[in-house]
Structure 1
Amino acid sequence: MRRSLRTDRSHTHSTHRAAQVAAAAVIAGALTLTACGGSDDKKSDDGKSGASTGDTAGGGSVSLPKLDGASLEVAAVWTGPEQANFKKVLAEFEKRTGAKVTFVPAQDPIINFLGSKIAGGAPPDVAMLPQVGAIKQAVEKKWAKPVGPDAQAQLAKNYSQGWQDLGKIDGKQYGVYYKAANKSLVWYNTKVFENAGAKEPATWKDFLSTAQTVYDSGVTPVSVGGADGWTLTDWFENVYLSQAGPEKYDQLAQHKIKWTDPSVKDALTTLAQLWGNKNYIAGGPDGALQTEFPASVTQTFTGGDQPKAGMVFEGDFVGVNIAETKAKIGTDAKVFPFPAVGDKAPVVSGGDAAVVLKDSKAAQALVTFLASPDAATIQAKLGGYLSPNKSVANSAYPNAVQQSMAKALIAAGDDFRFDMSDQAPQSFGGTPGKGEWKDLQDFLKNPKDVAGTQAKLEADAAAAYKG
C-alpha cells in the first residue's frame, strides 16, 4: 500500500488521536503473538471480534443488485500483489452482480491523475484515495458524490464512528475506508538476529545498538526504500511523534508551528544518527535513494542468513512483499514496534477510502460491497491487508501476527491518529519529487544539513498551505 493524501483540511483533534492508539494497540497485539513464534496460523478467533462471513461465493452478508451489462472502472495507485489481491475482490463483485469491473492503475499524486481523466471526460466510476485529505479535495472540486443509503447502512453496521467520520465532509459521507494501515512497525530477518545475538529494541538508543550488533555480525542493519519519498515521511513522523509528543504532532500536521521549530531540528538530528551512518543503511544513502519500497522489503528476506539488510521499517502491508520471498511471517520474519525516541513508542496509521466519482447504481453497489465484511474478508485471507471493518472474522487473516494486528485495531475503536503527511496539502506531503518527499530524500543524501532541510521544508509547506 502506498501512502495517503494531503490537503489543508484539518480533522478534529479526536480524529487525529485516532490512528495513534489504534496503531499502538496493533503493535502490542502483534508483539504478544510474535513472542509465541506466530505458529498458530490456522487458529480461529473466539468470535467476539465479529461474525464470520465465511466464503463469499454464492451469497454473503450484503445484498447486491443485478447489474448485467453494466461496466465500471476503479482507479487506485496499488501495484504488484496489492493490486492482484484487490482484483480478486472485484472479481467476486462481478460474479455476484454480473457487472464488468476494470482496474485502472493510477499514478501519484492520484488527484492529478483523476484531474486529467475528468478533464478528458473519462473519470473512473470509483477511486481508492490513499490520503485522508484527498476526499476533501475531491469534494471541493465537485468530483466526489455522496455514498448512498445502502453503503451508509453497511458503514453504520460494520465501522466505528471514527472510521466513518474520516470519510465525512460537512456531515455528508463521501468515503468508505476499505483499508487501514499500521505504519509503526519494524520487520526483521530472524536468522540475522539469531546469528548476531541481537534482541528486539524498545528505545531508539537500543535500536542503534541493535543496528551495530547486526553490522558486527556481517550484515547491513537497515533497508530504506528512499526512492519512494513517502517512506521517508513515515520515518520522520514516527520519530517526531515519539520525541515531540502528540500536541506538537498535531500542530505541525496543521502547520500551526513552522518546520523551522526546534522540535523538527531535534527529530531530524535523531534521524541523522541512523541515516548519517553509511554502515547502517543498505547501499548507503545513494543506494537507498535508488531502492523502491517493495525492493527494500524483499532484499531483507532473501539471501538466507546473508540478506542485503537485517531490518526494514514500514507498515503491516509489508506482509504482501514478504510473502513474495517465501519467508514465513512469525517464523522467518518477525516484527517489533518502532522504538521509542521519547517517553512513548510512536504510533501512526493510514488508510485508503473508496470514493464515488460517477453516481450510478453500479458505482453505489460497489462501494456498498466494499463497506461489507464480504469484500474485506476476501482480501484479509490473502494477507498483507488490514480492514477497519469490525465484522470481519479475525480467523480470516492468514497468520497469527496479522490476526493479532487486526484484533487490536478493532479493539482500539475510535482512538487513533492519522499519518501527518497524509493530512498536508498534496503539493507538500503527497507529490513525488516535490515538497516533503523531495526534501527528505535530499536529507537522506546529506543528513548533516539539518538547518537547510528545515528551511526547505518550511518554504515548501508555507507555499502549499497558502495555496
Structure 2
Amino acid sequence: MHSRTTFRTHRTRRAARAAAAVAAGALALSLTACSGSDDDGKGGGDSSGSPTTNTVALPKLDGAHLEIAAVWTGAEQKNFKQVLAEFEKRTGAKVTFVPAQDPIINFLGSKIAGGQPPDVALLPQPGAIKQAVDKGWAKPLGPEAQAELEKNYSQGWQDIGKVDGKPYGVYYKAANKSLIWYNAKVFENAGVSEPKTWKDLLNTAQTIYDSGVTPFSVGGADGWTLTDWFENIYLSQAGPEKYDQLAQHKIKWTDPSVKQALTTLAEIFSKKDYIAGGPDGALQTEFPASVTQTFTGGDQPKAGMVFEGDFAQVNIGETKAKVGTDAKVFPFPAVGDTAPVVSGGDAAVILKDSKAAQALVTFLASPDAATIQAKLGGYLSPNKNVPESAYPNEVQRKIAKALIASGDDFRFDMSDQAPQAFGGTPGKGEWKDLQDFLQNPTDVAGTQARLEKDAAAAYGNGS
C-alpha cells in the first residue's frame, strides 16, 4: 500500500478560504497593475535590506565531487548551472548536473539499483519526497540546512518538505500555476481586454476566434499541463475544502464536483477550433512549443493565449516577444466565487549524506542561490529573503511578491500531492486519463470512472 502525503495549512478552513481569496485578489491586482509595462530589471523592486550575496557560510570542499539530478532542460538547466558554478567557486567542490527523466523516482531507482545514485535530487512532488523517504533513499537535512530553511521560508513551504515531521526537502523552485499568458497584439487586434471570470474567458476566446486567430495553445503531449487546467477549475469551482479532500482521495473522482469541473473544462476542450491544431495537434505539442507558438508569427500566431505558470517566461524568452509588452499575463479567471491560486515546486533532497551534499542543499536554501537564478528570468523562489529587485522585469517581480505575500495560504498542485503512479507518470494515471479526455471531452462519466480506478490503485485502498 502506498502512503500518500498532502499539505494543509494549520489554520481553520474558513480562514484558509478567506486568505486564499485575499491572495487571489492581490495577485489579480498586482498583475493588472504591471501587465502593460516592462523594464530592464535595474529597479522597481524593494530589496528591503535583504542580503543577496555571501549570506550563508559554506565549508571548503576542495576535491569533493557531487552529482545533482533534476528533470530540467533548456534554459532552465542552463541557468541552474550558473547557480552550481557559484557553489563551486565558493567551496572548491565540483558539481555535475545529471539530466533525469520523468518520473524521476523511477530514474533514481535505476541509478540506486546500479549503485550510482546522485548526491542530491530535485523532486517535483511532495509524494515523491515521501516515496524517497519510505524507500530509505532520502536523508534528513542537517542542522545548517535546517537553519537556513527556517530563516528563509514560511512555515507552509517548510512543511511540504517534511515527512512525519522531519525536514527532508528544500523547495528551491516554486511556481505560480494560475496564470494565462497572451499575445498582446492578438488581444489588441480583436479589441478584447483581460477576462476576470470563466464566462469572460469564453467570450474573449470567441472574439479572438472571430478575429481569425485560434484562441488557445495547449501542450497536451505533457499530461501535467492538463492536470493544471483541471486543478485551477476545480479549486475555484469546488473550493479549497473539496480540493484538499480530492487531493487526499478522501472523496472519489466520481464525485459530482469532479463532473462539474470536467464539464466546465469541456467548454473549451470540446471546441476543436479553439485549440491550435485541434485535440490531435495539442496531444503532439509539448509544453515549450505550446508557449513559443503563441508568441511567434507576429499578429498571426498559432494561438492567442497559453495557460501555464510563471516559468513560461523561459520559453517566451526563446522568441522575440518581450514580457510585459508583447507577452502579457492575467490570473486564471474565477470559475466560482474566487480565482484559484495553485502552486507547485521542486525540492532539493539529499540521497548521499555527506558534508558536501549537506552544504549544497544549505546553499540552495539560501537567498544567495535563488537570487542568482532569479536574475536570469523564468524562475520563482518561495524564499522570502530573495529581494524583489532580483527579478528581471516588473511582471516577474509582481508574481514573486504575490507568492511571498500569500504566506502559508496556498494550495499545492494536486497531482503533485498524489502517488506518482497516479499524478506524475507519463502515459499513466491522471496524465493519460486527461489526455484521453482532451481527445473525447464528451465522455465525462467515462473519464471520471477511469480516474477513480487509477486513483484507487495508486493510493492503495481507494479511500
Pairwise TM-score range, normalised by the shorter structure: over 0.9
Superposed CA deviations along residues 148-192 of structure 1, whole A, max 9, x for unmatched, are 111111112111111111111122111111011100000000001
Matched, 1:271 2:265: yes
Report the secondary structure of 2:234's partner residue. helix
Alignment of 1:82-121 (within 5 A): 82-121=76-115
Query: 2:423 maps to what in 1?
Result: 429
Query: 2:145 maps to what in 1?
Result: 151
Aligned counterparts of 1:359 and 1:414: Cα–Cα separation in 2? 29
Aligned counterparts of 1:107 and 1:327: Cα–Cα separation in 2? 30
Matched, 1:457 2:447: no
Alignment of 1:301-312 (within 5 A): 301-312=295-306
Matched, 1:33 2:29: no
Once the two structures are TM-superposed, the CA of residue 235 in structure 1 deviates from its matched residue by 0.3
Alignment of 1:11-26 (within 5 A): 11-14=7-10, 24=24
Report the secondary structure of 1:10's partner residue. coil
Provide the TM-score with structure 2 as the length reference. 0.95
Aligned counterparts of 2:428 and 2:207: Cα–Cα separation in 1? 36
Matched, 1:51 2:50: yes
Partner residue of 2:6 out of 3, 10, 35 = 10
Percentage of identical aligned residues: 79
Matched, 1:379 2:373: yes
Once the two structures are TM-superposed, the CA of residue 27 in structure 1 deviates from its matched residue by 2.7
Q: Contact 1:240 / 1:249 at 8 angstroms: preserved in 2? A: yes
Superposed CA deviations along residues 219-254 of structure 1, whole A, max 9, x for unmatched, are 100000000000000000011111111111111111
Query: 1:403 maps to what in 2?
Result: 397
Q: In the comparison of the two structures, how many residue pairs are matched?
A: 456
Report the secondary structure of 1:176's partner residue. strand
Equivalent residue letter for 1:413: G
Query: 1:3 maps to what in 2?
Result: none
Superposed CA deviations along residues 235-275 of structure 1, whole A, max 9, x for unmatched, are 00011111111111111111111111111111111111100
Aligned counterparts of 1:167 and 1:314: Cα–Cα separation in 2? 23
RMSD value over aligned CA atoms?
Answer: 1.8
Alignment of 1:194-213 (within 5 A): 194-213=188-207
Query: 1:238 maps to what in 2?
Result: 232
Once the two structures are TM-superposed, the CA of residue 23 in structure 1 deviates from its matched residue by 6.3
Q: Contact 1:22 / 1:413 at 8 angstroms: preserved in 2? A: no
Q: Contact 1:66 / 1:97 at 8 angstroms: preserved in 2? A: yes
Query: 2:354 maps to what in 1?
Result: 360
Q: Contact 2:367 / 2:386 at 8 angstroms: preserved in 1? A: yes
- Structure 2: runs of 5 or more not aligned: none
Distance 1:253 1:264, change over 3 A: same
Alignment of 1:180-199 (within 5 A): 180-199=174-193
Distance 1:378 1:40, change over 3 A: closer
Distance 1:320 1:35, change over 3 A: closer
Query: 1:79 maps to what in 2?
Result: 73
Once the two structures are TM-superposed, the CA of residue 29 in structure 1 deviates from its matched residue by 5.1
Superposed CA deviations along residues 262-297 of structure 1, whole A, max 9, x for unmatched, are 111111111111001011000000000000000000
Report the secondary structure of 1:279's partner residue. helix
Alignment of 1:63-78 (within 5 A): 63-78=57-72
Matched, 1:162 2:161: no
Aligned counterparts of 1:9 and 1:22: Cα–Cα separation in 2? 26
Aligned counterparts of 2:34 and 2:339: Cα–Cα separation in 1? 18
Once the two structures are TM-superposed, the CA of residue 42 in structure 1 deviates from its matched residue by 2.7
Aligned counterparts of 1:77 and 1:96: Cα–Cα separation in 2? 25
Alignment of 1:305-344 (within 5 A): 305-344=299-338
Aligned counterparts of 1:134 and 1:92: Cα–Cα separation in 2? 28
Matched, 1:441 2:440: no
Aligned counterparts of 1:313 and 1:11: Cα–Cα separation in 2? 24
Aligned counterparts of 1:228 and 1:440: Cα–Cα separation in 2? 10
Aligned counterparts of 1:121 and 1:25: Cα–Cα separation in 2? 50
Report the secondary structure of 1:139's partner residue. helix
Distance 1:268 1:320, change over 3 A: same
Q: Contact 2:5 / 2:126 at 8 angstroms: preserved in 1? A: no
Report the secondary structure of 1:124's partner residue. coil
Superposed CA deviations along residues 134-158 of structure 1, whole A, max 9, x for unmatched, are 1111111111111111111111211
Query: 2:129 maps to what in 1?
Result: 135
Query: 2:343 maps to what in 1?
Result: 349
Aligned counterparts of 2:457 and 2:414: Cα–Cα separation in 1? 17
Aligned counterparts of 2:439 and 2:256: Cα–Cα separation in 1? 22
Distance 1:351 1:14, change over 3 A: farther
Query: 2:242 maps to what in 1?
Result: 248
Report the secondary structure of 1:201's partner residue. coil
Report the secondary structure of 1:155's partner residue. helix
Once the two structures are TM-superposed, the CA of residue 35 in structure 1 deviates from its matched residue by 4.4
Aligned counterparts of 1:409 and 1:380: Cα–Cα separation in 2? 14
Aligned counterparts of 1:215 and 1:224: Cα–Cα separation in 2? 15
Equivalent residue letter for 1:399: N
Superposed CA deviations along residues 3-59 of structure 1, whole A, max 9, x for unmatched, are xxx9612333549959956962663354243245234743243333x5141xx4xxx
Report the secondary structure of 2:55's partner residue. coil
Report the secondary structure of 1:273's partner residue. helix
Q: Contact 1:26 / 1:407 at 8 angstroms: preserved in 2? A: no
Aligned counterparts of 2:175 and 2:26: Cα–Cα separation in 1? 10
Moved more, 427-436 or 163-172: 163-172
Distance 1:120 1:458, change over 3 A: same
